[in-house]
């Protein structure tokens, strides 16, 4: 089967991507690790001893960074529909967190504790139909925000990947309604032509 021009371009970008090469050298699971590292440098979201919930974690690029940063006294609970190889400091729950049984497993792993930070680098399987892909990505990030509201401690923080397009402006309004401070980040490791940005919500407001 012949590859499309866009998949050829992606492959070429991927092979020549300095962050892909750097990840291989540094032992990170994906180039996404550098996005979290850069955002964390600016926003100081992850500190030793924290409890972090990572949604859509496979293959583990963000969990790997978070596990290292929370250290031995911290915990990362990660969840994804796809399998993920084990990581130090990370407890992995496979399944769809919108399903009651998986949600219950995550809650059991939290053990009554509330998370300091919820992170999500989730993206849908791309169909190539822009409107459908945008709707699917907005649905995922709305689920992540809902999960954050259910699991974060007061003043807790949130980080999620969002794609510019239909629903984006409303979503940012929704995040602003829930957190005291909201900033948008576009890390260097994010490809310039990608519509992805990262929304950082700081300080979960008291729930009404």
> pLDDT tens-digit profile of 21-40?
777 777 788 889 999 999 99
- The number of distinct structural domains making up the chain is 1
The active-site residue, picked from 22, 161, 173, 181, is: 161
pLDDT of residue 4: 61
CATH of the domain at 116: 3.40.50.150
67 beta partners = none
- Of 29-33, 100-104, 171-175, 182-186, the poorest mean pLDDT is in 29-33
Q: How far apart are CA 131 and CA 142, in angstroms?
A: 16
The reported pTM is 0.90
DSSP state of 188: T
Pair type for strands 196-204 and 152-163: antiparallel
> pLDDT tens-digit profile of 48-72?
999 999 999 999 999 999 999 999 9
DSSP state of 189: T
184 beta partners = 199
Q: Confirm whether 173 is a catalytic residue.
A: no
Q: Does pLDDT of 15 surpass 70? A: no
Q: Which residues are annotated as a binding site for S-adenosyl-L-methionine?
A: 60, 62, 80, 96, 121
pLDDT of residue 60: 95
DSSP assignment of 20-86 equals: HHHHHHHT-SSTHHHHHHHHHHHH----TT-EEEEES-TT-HHHHHHHHHH-TT-EEEEEESS----
The rounded mean pLDDT for the chain is 91
Range of the domain at 66: 5-204
pLDDT of residue 6: 62
Where does the pLDDT of residue 12 fall: very low under 50, low under 70, confident under 90, or very high at 90 and above?
Answer: low
């Amino acid at each position: 089967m012949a590859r499309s021009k866009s998949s050829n371009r992606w492959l070429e970008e991927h092979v020549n991507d300095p962050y892909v090469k750097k990840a291989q050298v540094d032992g990170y699971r994906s180039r996404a690790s550098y996005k979290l590292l850069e955002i964390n440098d600016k926003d100081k979201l992850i500190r030793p001893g924290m409890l972090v919930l990572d949604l859509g974690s496979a293959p583990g690029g963000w969990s790997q960074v978070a596990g290292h940063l929370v250290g031995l006294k911290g915990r990362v609970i990660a969840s994804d529909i796809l399998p993920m190889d084990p990581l130090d400091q990370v407890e992995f729950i496979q399944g769809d967190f919108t399903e009651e049984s998986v949600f219950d497993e995550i809650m059991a792993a939290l053990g009554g504790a509330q998370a300091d930070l919820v992170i999500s680098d989730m993206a849908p399987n791309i169909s190539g139909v822009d409107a459908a892909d945008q709707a699917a990505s907005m649905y995922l990030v709305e689920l992540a925000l809902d999960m954050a509201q259910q699991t974060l401690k007061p003043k807790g923080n949130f980080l999620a990947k969002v794609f510019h397009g239909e629903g984006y402006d409303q979503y940012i309004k929704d995040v602003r309604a829930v957190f005291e401070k909201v900033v948008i980040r576009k890390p260097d490791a994010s490809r310039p032509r990608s519509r992805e940005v990262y929304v950082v919500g700081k300080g979960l407001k008291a729930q009404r």
